[in-house]
Structure 1
């Protein structure tokens, strides 16, 4: 059963959660709920409320078993579709810049291939054929698909409907189980979705006995700066489009629950133009 206000951990299923109040950033609140910040003034005539700016409230939750940190709201499919409608097109960018003027410095970088992808390819290559058959789940245009220029095929499964890079082919769920893949990837997606374990489970029909699955998420600064801490909820005061913050333990627990075997883990510093950070990559296969 899907919990739209989370009562259990999204990774390990535990109900041992720490909770702390936070706010949902205005751009996300507008797209998901239709909320805009509002000024409560004396003219409202509200006896028991203080005057000031009101934002959409939420809670930060952290699992005390595996360390996963996440937003309590679990958006519906329709709400996620509204949040990512026309993702990064002119209207999306303008609307976001209205709330976040600094976003104007980010936009141009999304149209360039991330430099760190070459390092991911180098890490994966010794385990794969020279020209692997690749499925990129949630790969957008394919601009950042691994082995984009050295594959035997590149399939992309993505809801966006955007134009793909040369050589890539769009596939739907019915086609995925009919094709052999050497590598299935899902990069920079699980941090955005309400039910990450459910999404990974949907990928399993694409995995054969020899197929490798590479899952990549941001290793968020808050998690890196407080390794192994179970007291992160009070430190996470706002939520944006990344509604899940993973650590290695939480990723392991989620994937093991799905019957997957951990092959290796990658922690890679990255510089994506407007910010520096780190990615956490987990390589798995069917157990």
Structure 2
């Protein structure tokens, strides 16, 4: 049975709809559990008087699922719109950072890095330049403040659609789905978003009304370390024991299947090494257009 945007627990692959899923138990990290469910870790002690439970720390349980057809690895919980709004309210602002640092000491120091434009965006722009006009009209779907939108400052138009309601960077204009105009954009970007969302297919379908035959869609996700270290493995559910804000770990095949199933044709793709300053990473980018 296909997992729909209304399903709270995934019943099939979020990319290719296969029902062949490998499953293994895991925990939801406390910061996410607090924001989404208002759960805090609790310690089960002998004075609870529970006959069948062992003493120890109790955390919010979940499952890791991996599709045996396309390889995508994902959390079984598919958060509701309200839960997503709670999780990303004020994303990386002062209150968010303070709360996350409480659950994850040291996060505030790392978060300082996110207040500047990522250096690797210049590499993405060089890769995209051969496909887009010199001053493209850009829609950044899920672009936060627009700080890391490709071609910011080189654009003819820059619209940003995001649920976090953070303050926008200079040159960016906020837009809602009801304001989309087909054929208005040369390039739609969706960068570092699909790893966060409960229904990647539904999100791609929300973007489609902004596209015509000449519009290009650039989708970018992290190439997660677990996926890089075990290429082609279909036994990663048992290795993924905790989940945080990235609830979907993609393979190239999964990302291509996702876009193709939404009515898009993949034109090009790349893997780009990224130096984030505090750690090395890699991103996976795919360029597509309407089929």
Q: So what's the TM-score if we normalise by structure 1?
A: 0.98
Structure 2 unmatched runs, 5+ = none
1:133 aligns with 2:133: no
1:239 aligns with 2:243: yes
Checking the alignment, whether the CA contact within 8 Å between 1:218 and 1:280 is kept in structure 2 is yes
Deviation, 1:205, is 0.8
Query: Residues of 2 paired with 1:75 and 1:205: CA distance?
Result: 24
Query: Residues of 2 paired with 1:143 and 1:62: CA distance?
Result: 33
SS in 1 for 2:217: strand
**Deviation digits for residues 151-194 of structure 1 (CA, Å, limit 9, x no counterpart):** 11111111222221222111111221255211000000110010
Query: Residues of 2 paired with 1:102 and 1:191: CA distance?
Result: 23
Question: Where does residue 60 of structure 1 map in the other structure?
Answer: 64
SS in 1 for 2:238: helix
Which of 24, 28, 38 aligns to 1:24? It is 28
Checking the alignment, whether the CA contact within 8 Å between 1:105 and 1:274 is kept in structure 2 is no
Q: Which runs of structure 2 are paired with 1:42-57 in the superposition (5 Å)?
A: 42-57=46-61
Q: Which runs of structure 2 are paired with 1:133-282 in the superposition (5 Å)?
A: 133-178=137-182, 180-282=184-286
Query: Residues of 1 paired with 2:182 and 2:213: CA distance?
Result: 14
Question: Where does residue 9 of structure 1 map in the other structure?
Answer: 13
SS in 1 for 2:97: helix
Deviation, 1:94, is 1.2
The number of equivalent residue pairs is 287
Deviation, 1:43, is 0.5
Deviates more, 1:115-124 or 1:199-208: 199-208
Alignment RMSD (CA, Å): 1.0
Q: So what's the TM-score if we normalise by structure 2?
A: 0.97
Q: Which runs of structure 2 are paired with 1:105-124 in the superposition (5 Å)?
A: 105-124=109-128
